[in-house]
């Protein structure tokens, strides 16, 4: 199993496929790098080197009791990039992974970055505050924590339905996709997944987005029931200078799976642009 060791001794699992320009992938909560397989295989077949890691506390990485926050996640991404000596890389992040990419640029700059892609990403900030009145009430995230603590297996099964929009009329998502969401989620540590809710919902990325100085693509489903588009992608695209934003009508949060072919084509076109 391929791992790197971070400055605090955390073992971070990663997969590194193919040859060519580098593309990194940061996954959504509470999944693992496996959630990117549909994009990674596609890009390998088109001449790219693809790298994806399991966030600390998720998948095959160490279940640490420290740094389960955006600074820690961004530093772990930096550790992977530096260990593999990736340069001119395109950083792709989905949901919480989009926050990870934003905080990476905020903390580590773009000296190793050529482009960035935010897919159904959590920035600029999810929770409702005086400065962000359109955000989701803190009670939404408190309820998530309670449900996760009480019965995480059932919570993940229920979450998968909203994640992929399986509760919408005409949804064509398979039972297999819902099952693999549960399987990947159950691999995350309870403490890590619990603390990560605060990280993805309460972290303010405004200052990070202001530091983006590379071509950036923002993709989001207009029927995202997890990260509402009006309080995330639309705002982020306005805050990132020169960002290109694309919205998928009727699409859910999990567009990497439900709209895999369309999203892969969009991603390849952006990489080649």
Q: Is 244 helix (H, G, I), strand (E, B) or coil?
A: strand
Q: Is 121 exposed, middle or buried (0-12, 13-18, 19+ CB in 10 A)?
A: buried
d(CA 70, CA 72): 5
From 224, 232, 236, 259, active-site residue? 224
* DSSP secondary structure letters along 21-40: SEEEEEPPTT--GGGGHHHH
Determine whether 174 is an active site residue: no
Catalytic residue among 94, 220, 253, 259: 253
Q: With contact defined as beta carbons under 8 Å apart, do 225 and 255 qualify?
A: no
Rounded Cα–Cα distance for residues 175 and 86 (Å): 37
Please give the Cα distance from 74 to 63 (Å, whole number).
Answer: 16
User: Strand order in 11-17's β-sheet?
Assistant: 3-5, 11-17, 49-53, 22-26, 89-94, 113-119, 216-221, 244-248
CB atoms within 10 A of CB 127: 18
The residues with which 246 forms a beta bridge, in sequence order, are 219
User: Active-site residue 54, yes or no?
Assistant: no
Q: Which two tokens stand for residue 26?
A: 């940061």
The count of other CB atoms within 10 Å of the CB of residue 132 is 16
Q: Which position among 33, 62, 95, 185 bears the catalytic label?
A: 95
Nearest to 35 by CA among 222, 199, 183, 152: 183
Q: Measured between alpha carbons, how far is 100 from 58 in angstroms, rounded to an integer?
A: 14
Residue 16 falls in the annotated catalytic set: no
Question: What token pair was written down for 147?
Answer: 């449900």
Positions marked catalytic: 95, 224, 253
């Amino acid at each position: 199993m391929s791992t790197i060791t971070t400055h605090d001794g955390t073992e971070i699992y990663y997969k590194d496929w193919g040859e060519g320009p580098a593309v990194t992938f940061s996954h959504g909560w509470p999944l693992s790098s496996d959630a990117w397989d549909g994009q990674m295989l596609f890009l390998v077949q088109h001449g790219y080197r693809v790298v994806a890691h399991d966030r600390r506390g998720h998948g095959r990485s160490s279940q640490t009791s420290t740094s389960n926050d955006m600074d820690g996640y961004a530093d772990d991404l930096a550790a992977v990039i530096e260990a593999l000596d990736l340069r001119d890389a395109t950083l792709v992040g989905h949901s919480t992974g989009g926050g990870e990419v934003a905080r990476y640029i905020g903390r580590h700059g773009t000296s190793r970055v050529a482009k960035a892609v935010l897919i159904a990403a959590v920035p600029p900030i999810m929770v409702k505050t005086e400065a962000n009145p359109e955000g989701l009430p803190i009670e939404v995230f408190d309820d998530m924590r309670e449900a996760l603590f009480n019965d995480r297996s059932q919570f993940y099964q229920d979450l998968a339905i909203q994640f992929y929009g399986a509760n919408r009329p005409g949804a064509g998502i398979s039972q297999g996709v819902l099952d693999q969401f549960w399987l990947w989620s159950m691999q995350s540590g309870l403490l890590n997944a619990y603390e990560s809710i605060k990280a993805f919902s309460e972290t303010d990325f405004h200052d990070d987005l202001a530091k983006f100085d590379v071509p950036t693509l923002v993709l989001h489903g207009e029927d995202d029931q997890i990260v509402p588009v009006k309080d995330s992608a639309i705002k982020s695209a306005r805050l990132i200078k020169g960002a290109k934003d694309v919205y998928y009508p009727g699409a859910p949060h999990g567009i990497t799976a439900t709209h895999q072919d369309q999203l892969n084509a969009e991603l390849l076109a952006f990489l080649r642009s």
